Amino acid sequence: MNASLDRSGTVQVKGTLRTHTKQPVSGALINLAVDGKPLAVGVTHDNGSWSGTFRLPPTMQAGAHELSATFDGTEGVGAASASGTFSIAAQPTVLTAAVKPTIAAPGALLNVNGTVILPSHRRVTDSHVAILLGTDGQTALTAPTDSQGNYQATFQVPLDAPNGPLMVTVKLVDSRYGVSQQAVTVQVKSASPTPTPTLTPSPTPTSVTPTPSSPSTPVATHDSEESPDGRIPKTSTSPIPTARRSVVDAFGGRKPILILAGVIGVLLLGVLLGSLTRRRGGNVHSSDEGDGNSLFDEWDGPDSH
């Protein structure tokens, strides 16, 4: 048995089935499988030769694989099988990527889209791309390719992303194809806080409506009265008014002042009379005899008559 594999993934295999006596076996069914998975069936000709052609699944990974051909046997002919290995080379691809917007704040949404194709311009379908953020390659999400090889995804700028460049890398995730990726730089710029204007409220004039107060009813209180049990005197809760005391009140009223004034007046009169008497007595012998205006001439002595 021998086989060949072209770039499109098509496998062509052929062989011959003979008995142990080298006699060809015609009309026998040959089951063809890759890695144990049946993919095609061949039929032997009269000379025992057979052939088969099949296409590998698109999900087949690159690398080494086993191809087997099996005859289950018939009456008079025993079972037989043959196997071999082949390798699938990773196909080179071309990946494009675009990210919008190219300037964004932390938490903003970014749209990324692009296309994955083969060098032969055949679209890479049923595949996936991974979107990586930052230089450490943190995976943000994956996106599938459609029937035209296009992909599209929306992701968020990390909230803790610092101001500056943010690397966005799109990488093809498919072992059938060679590694292909595209990097785009997005500038992270935090939005400047908008100053909030301070409003100064205008004073609103308010009118005060006077509220008429009801006349208070005086409550008679007693400074001291006994409680019903006759033991503890009740104390008035009314504040004691502070009286304004005049000078007259300070001396005990008007009567003591009048008495004091009378006493002082009598004393002053006595002093005045005493002074006049002494003056008159000193001037009796020096005054003229014709002084008839003296009130005290008649008291000068018995010799005056």
Structure tokens that stand for 85 in this block: 């290995």
Structure tokens that stand for 53 in this block: 């052609």
Residue 88: the pLDDT is 82
Residue 254: the pLDDT is 72
- Stretch 115-128: mean pLDDT, rounded? 90
The 10 Å Cβ neighbour count of residue 150 is 18
Q: Which residues lie below 8 Å from residue 8, measured CB to CB, with a gap of 6+?
A: 55
- Under DSSP, the state recorded for 9 is S
Q: Which of 103 and 262 is assigned the larger pLDDT?
A: 103
Residue 298: the pLDDT is 45
Q: Is the pLDDT of residue 83 over 80?
A: yes
SS3 127: coil
Q: How far apart are CA 214 and CA 195, in angstroms?
A: 54
The 10 Å Cβ neighbour count of residue 272 is 10
Strands (E), 208-281: 224-226, 233-235
Residue 262: the pLDDT is 82
The 10 Å Cβ neighbour count of residue 99 is 21
Q: Is the pLDDT of residue 106 over 90?
A: yes
Compute the chain's Rg from CA coordinates.
68
What's the pLDDT band for 63 if we cut at 50, 70, 90?
Answer: confident
Q: Is 23 exposed, middle or buried (0-12, 13-18, 19+ CB in 10 A)?
A: exposed
Residue 202: the pLDDT is 64
Q: How far apart are CA 20 and CA 15, in angstroms?
A: 16
Structural domains in the chain plus CATH codes: 2-88 (2.60.40.1930), 94-188 (2.60.40.1930)
Q: Which of 142 and 227 is assigned the larger pLDDT?
A: 142
